[in-house]
Chain A
Amino acid sequence: MRFIVCYKWTLDEEDIRVDRETRALALDHVRQRISPYDRNAIECGVRLAEEQGGEAVALSVGGPEVADSLKDALSRGPAHAVWVGCPELSGADAAAVAKTLAAAVRHIGEYDLLICGEGSSDYYNQQTGPRLAALLGIPAVTSVSGLTLSGRVLRAERKLEEGLEIVETDLPALVTVLPDIGEARIPNLKQILAAGKKPVVRLTPAELGLGPEALEPRARRESLLGTVADRKRIVLRGEGAVAELLTKLRAEGRC
């Protein structure tokens, strides 16, 4: 069986600084990493390949910066990686990313299950997975916290606001997985070294038959402003701190 896992190379928001005066974001020198949700997705694909036989393939779409992600992704267990890259795909919207992924999946050809994280840590749109399934015309099961395969039937548990939904569908299908699906491994040195030798297929959208119009964003960015908490930021220390706090809270009518 072939399990294709999609992942996104994202900025680590913990490194992003906000200027309190201008509310501008400092995005230089921000580390990038595989979106944490997608690490669980990769783990899920690799475990399924081990259980069922077959292979896990890592697939990512993005700008030139995605080159830095490949070794990390492959050290987590996939047999090989496919990267569709061009500068226009840096920060592309979910519509463009899903169209590019769909073209890449068609290019890969045979597959049984597509696995995506439930959302990316940067934009958290929660769209790419279900968009991709719709474009490929295969069933989508989102927010999956557990799954089993028996033959060509996928049984999945979805964690929804109203409860746990158990569903079945036939392969090929797509799932988006929650972190509950299983903890991601921390690659060991041997896996990291082996990752450098695994094959990587590099494609461009043009090679997949996608013109510039396919990647055109559906919205124009007007503003991006850091959120600044408008708080008093009063620091209380030492013995009188508790009494001082309660006095202030009472004065404000909070308690």
Chain B
Amino acid sequence: MAKLWVIAEKADTAVELLAWAKELGPAEQLVCLTGNPAAAAAAAVQGADRVLLFSGAARPEAYVPDWLALAQREEPAAILLGADRRAKEIAAALAAGLDAGLVSDCVQLRQGEGEGYYSERYIYGGLALLGETTTRRPLLATIPAGKVTPLPARAAVAVENMSGTRPDPVRLVELRPQPSVSALTEARVIVCVGRGLLKQEDLRLARDLAAAFGGEIGCTRPIAEERRWLPEKCYLGITGQKAAPELYITLGVSGQIQHMSGVRDSKCIVAVEKNDAAPIVEAADYTIIGDLYEVTPQLLAALKDQGGGR
């Protein structure tokens, strides 16, 4: 029986990754490695056959030498991690140590031919989907959250306490908590502004429209990172927040692939755009060709006349 490893710091990541691992090899032994007691406890009831809890380090990155040594001994067939920045660093360091392949931001994973695993991920800013089969084990993958349902709870397995951490060459000075998760992932309607918006004050138009639909406001990367009109947690795209609302409305968004990749799973996309040759026209369900400064007030008036958007 092969071993499938899951490495996670957060409880919800751990249980999601265990569900992925179960799909990958229903009969394999699922092992969860973590530095967080809450994640260990969750894994112990939701899918793990073995839970190893590491302690003594200020940052999970410090466990990499321990995990690497253990992986060399236990030879897991696959190692799954979350797709947050810490996890990506850990995954890459392990992959280098094991001379193994690593699929970053993996969106599809299954048993392939023979010993191989088949994976899919987006490349070229989301323009293309790449399908690959690993040629040797182990396979490592970092997997974004929110794609699978965790396994049902059952009687807990024992949590094994591990020790023996080496000192971290990177010293933690301070962690300033500043959650970057936004309300966008949960929103039913999102109104997104792009470079077509001329002034920061004009965000009011987008806010009013979002309010009329009972939704949230988002933006493209330049609005957050270059103009700094909205916080970074508001920007949607392949390197920013990802969302799949019922209704996605864009105002002055040209529709670059890097942006659209972050919202590709939206149920319906509506664009207000001046330029009828902009890529957004091809990527939207409905495009009103027109000036957002004329169309948005008309939309607001029409929604008000008809008793709001809901």
Q: Which of A126, A134, A241, A254 contacts B268 (CB 8 A)?
A: A254
Residue contact A166 to B299, C-beta cutoff 8 Å: no
Q: Which residues of B contact A (CB under 8 A)?
A: 59, 64, 84-86, 88-89, 91-93, 95-97, 99-105, 116, 118-119, 122-136, 169-181, 189, 213, 225, 238-239, 246-247, 256-257, 260-261, 264, 267-270, 276, 281-290, 295, 298-299, 302-303, 306, 309-310
Residue contact A241 to B290, C-beta cutoff 8 Å: yes
Residue contact A231 to B267, C-beta cutoff 8 Å: no
* Inter-chain contacts of A242 with B (CB < 8 A): 288, 295, 298-299, 302
* Inter-chain contacts of A224 with B (CB < 8 A): 123, 128-131
Residue contact A95 to B101, C-beta cutoff 8 Å: yes
Residue contact A13 to B96, C-beta cutoff 8 Å: no
Residue contact B131 to A95, C-beta cutoff 8 Å: no
Residue contact A248 to B286, C-beta cutoff 8 Å: yes
| A151-175 interface bits toward B, Cβ cutoff 8 Å, 1 = contact, 0 = none | 0000100111111111111100000
Q: Taking the nearest CB of chain A, how far is it from the CB of B179, in angstroms?
A: 7
Residue contact A11 to B124, C-beta cutoff 8 Å: yes
The CA of A155 and the CA of B104, in the complex, are separated in Å by 27
* Inter-chain contacts of B303 with A (CB < 8 A): 246
Q: Which of B102, B132, B179, B298 contacts A127 (CB 8 A)?
A: B102
The CA of A155 and the CA of B298, in the complex, are separated in Å by 52
A226 interface contact, C-beta 8 A: yes
A29 interface contact, C-beta 8 A: no
Residue contact A223 to B270, C-beta cutoff 8 Å: no
Q: Which of A134, A155, A216, A232 contacts B92 (CB 8 A)?
A: A134
Which residue in chain A gives the minimum CB-CB distance to B306?
Answer: A246
Residue contact B135 to A219, C-beta cutoff 8 Å: yes
Residue contact B101 to A254, C-beta cutoff 8 Å: no
The CA of A41 and the CA of B31, in the complex, are separated in Å by 38
The CA of A26 and the CA of B98, in the complex, are separated in Å by 35
The CA of A127 and the CA of B94, in the complex, are separated in Å by 11
Residue contact B288 to A236, C-beta cutoff 8 Å: yes
* Inter-chain contacts of B64 with A (CB < 8 A): 134
Q: Which of A163, A164, A222 contacts B133 (CB 8 A)?
A: A222
Residue contact A227 to B92, C-beta cutoff 8 Å: no
The CA of A108 and the CA of B213, in the complex, are separated in Å by 59
The CA of A210 and the CA of B266, in the complex, are separated in Å by 47
Q: Taking the nearest CB of chain A, how far is it from the CB of B7, in angstroms?
A: 14
The CA of A126 and the CA of B90, in the complex, are separated in Å by 11
A93 interface contact, C-beta 8 A: yes
* Inter-chain contacts of A223 with B (CB < 8 A): 129-131
Q: Which of A5-47 contact B (CB under 8 A)?
A: 11, 13-14, 16, 18, 25
| A105-146 interface bits toward B, Cβ cutoff 8 Å, 1 = contact, 0 = none | 000000000000000011111111111111100011111000
Q: With A165-B175, A219-B101 as given contacts, are A13 and B257 in contact (CB-CB < 8 Å)?
A: yes
A189 interface contact, C-beta 8 A: no
Q: Taking the nearest CB of chain B, how far is it from the CB of A179, in angstroms?
A: 7
Residue contact A232 to B95, C-beta cutoff 8 Å: no
Q: With A139-B169, A158-B85, A162-B179 as given contacts, are A235 and B281 in contact (CB-CB < 8 Å)?
A: yes
* Inter-chain contacts of B127 with A (CB < 8 A): 13, 16, 18, 25, 226-227
Sorting the interface of chain A by its residue count into under 10, 10 to 19, 20 to 34 or 35 or more gives: 35 or more
Which residue in chain A gives the minimum CB-CB distance to B171?
Answer: A168
Main secondary structure of the interface of A (DSSP, over half): mixed
* Inter-chain contacts of B96 with A (CB < 8 A): 95, 98, 130-132, 134-135
Q: Which of A16, A140, A229 contacts B260 (CB 8 A)?
A: A229
Residue contact A227 to B264, C-beta cutoff 8 Å: yes
| A213-255 interface bits toward B, Cβ cutoff 8 Å, 1 = contact, 0 = none | 0001111111111110101111111000111011011001011
Which residue in chain A gives the minimum CB-CB distance to B178?
Answer: A163
* Inter-chain contacts of A241 with B (CB < 8 A): 288-290, 295
Q: Which of A125, A232, A248, A249 contacts B104 (CB 8 A)?
A: A125
16 sample A-B contacts, Cβ–Cβ < 8 Å, listed by A number: A13-B127, A14-B257, A25-B127, A95-B95, A124-B104, A124-B105, A127-B104, A142-B85, A162-B177, A162-B179, A164-B178, A167-B172, A222-B133, A223-B129, A246-B303, A248-B286
Which residue in chain B gives the minimum CB-CB distance to A214?
Answer: B99
Residue contact B285 to A234, C-beta cutoff 8 Å: yes
* Inter-chain contacts of A177 with B (CB < 8 A): none
Q: Which of B189, B284, B289 contacts A231 (CB 8 A)?
A: B284
Residue contact B171 to A165, C-beta cutoff 8 Å: no
Q: Taking the nearest CB of chain A, how far is it from the CB of B274, in angstroms?
A: 11
A94 interface contact, C-beta 8 A: yes
In the complex, which of the residues A128, A218, A223 has the most CB atoms of chain B within 10 Å of its own CB atom? A218
Which residue in chain B gives the minimum CB-CB distance to A129?
Answer: B92
Q: With A224-B129, A242-B288 as given contacts, are A166 and B174 in contact (CB-CB < 8 Å)?
A: yes
Q: With A25-B128, A223-B130, A255-B310 as given contacts, are A217 and B264 in contact (CB-CB < 8 Å)?
A: no
The CA of A231 and the CA of B269, in the complex, are separated in Å by 8
Contacts A142-B85, A222-B133, A235-B286 known; 8 new A-B pairs at CB < 8 A: A16-B124, A93-B101, A95-B100, A134-B97, A162-B178, A179-B225, A218-B134, A220-B134
